[in-house]
């Protein structure tokens, strides 16, 4: 048996929105999830949430397998220099935050997001 590591080569983000604060991002995540519990990811000083394009179509499945390319339909983020396991807004919305700083994929996405701060989509 062989075990190989073949990381993704590209993440294509189709839409990207920056929020001014982690609290604003937490409010958005709560609304986007229809009021259900949802979480955020954190790496490299950035909290974010993403919505992947399903790999159920032939085109996205082919990209995933042949090109090691994944598509994220939407990414929303806010700068959050220090990791916190929870964000609690003034409305008492509590959103868990997963520390993904050990994932090279999440590190690279977070660095890209941080580098585009203030830029229009």
In angstroms, the CA 114 to CA 106 distance is: 12
CA distances from 6 to 9, 65, 104 (A): 9, 10, 12
User: Where are the chain's structural domains?
Assistant: 10-115
Q: Which residue has the tokens 């830029």?
A: 119
Give the closest residue to 13 by CA, choosing from 110, 81, 104: 110
What pLDDT is recorded for position 89? 92
What pLDDT is recorded for position 118? 59
Q: Which token pair is 89? A: 């807004």
Asked whether 68 and 10 are in contact (CB, 8 A), the reply is yes
Asked whether 23 and 90 are in contact (CB, 8 A), the reply is yes
- The pLDDT tens digits along the chain (121 residues) read 999 988 899 999 999 999 999 999 999 998 887 767 789 999 999 999 999 988 787 877 888 888 899 999 999 999 999 999 999 999 998 999 999 999 999 999 999 999 986 565 5
**Could you tell me if residue 66 is left (phi over 0), alpha (psi between -120 and 50 degrees) or otherwise beta?**
alpha
* DSSP state string for 43-73: ETTEEEEEEEPPTTSHHHHHIIIII-EEEEE
In angstroms, the CA 121 to CA 58 distance is: 27
């Amino acid at each position: 048996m062989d075990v190989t590591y073949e990381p993704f080569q590209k993440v294509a983000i189709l839409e990207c929105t920056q929020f001014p604060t982690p609290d604003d991002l937490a409010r958005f995540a709560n609304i986007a999830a229809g009021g259900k519990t949802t979480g955020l990811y954190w790496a490299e000083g950035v909290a974010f949430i993403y919505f992947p394009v399903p790999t159920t179509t032939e085109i996205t499945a082919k990209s995933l397998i042949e090109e090691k390319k994944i598509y994220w339909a939407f990414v929303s983020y806010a700068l959050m220099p220090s990791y916190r396991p929870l964000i609690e807004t003034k409305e008492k919305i509590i959103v868990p935050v997963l520390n993904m700083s050990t994932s090279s994929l999440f590190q690279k996405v977070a660095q890209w997001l941080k580098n585009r701060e203030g830029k229009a989509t």
